[in-house]
Amino acid sequence: MSAQDAGKGTEPSRATFQNLEDRAGAVATGDVSLDVILDVPVTLSLEVGRTRIPIRSLLQLNQGSVVELDRQAGEPLDVFANGTLVAHGEVVVVNEKFGIRLTDVVSPAERIRKLK
C-alpha cells in the first residue's frame, strides 16, 4: 500500500482508556494488583561506609592501600534498592559466598516519605 492510499477509505478509530476515577477507588482501598511490576528488575547495592578524599589522595591509591570509612567495625550496612535505603544488615557467608542478613527493614511508609 502506498503512502497516498494509506489515508483513503479508512476512518480513524477513537482511542479508549480506562477511567482513572475507577482505579483511584481501588488504590484507596488497597485492591491494587502488583502482578504488573513483580518482574521489573531492581538493583540492590550495599554500602559499608563512605569517605571524602581529595583527588590527589585518590590518585595515590594502589593495591594494598587502606581507605578509612565513616563507620565503626561491626556497624550494620545500608541496603539500597535503586538508590533508595530499604534496609540495614550484616555480612554473612553462605556456601563460601558473601550475603547479607537483614537486621532492620525500613517501613514502606518511611520509604514513601523519603521519596517526596
In a domain, 24, yes or no: no
The confidence score (pLDDT) of residue 54 equals 95
pLDDT at 6 > cutoff 70? no
In a domain, 77, yes or no: yes
Helices (H), the chain: 3-6, 20-29, 55-59, 108-115
Q: Which domain holds residue 95?
A: 35-115
Closest Cα to residue 77, out of 98, 105, 49? 49
pLDDT in tens, 86-98: 999 998 999 999 8
Identify the CATH number of the domain in which residue 41 sits: 2.30.330.10
In a domain, 23, yes or no: no
In a domain, 103, yes or no: yes
In a domain, 49, yes or no: yes
pLDDT in tens, 31-45: 677 888 888 999 999
pLDDT in tens, 95-110: 999 899 999 999 888 8
Bigger pLDDT: 55 or 8? 55
**pTM of the full structure:** 0.59
Q: Tally the domains of the chain.
A: 1
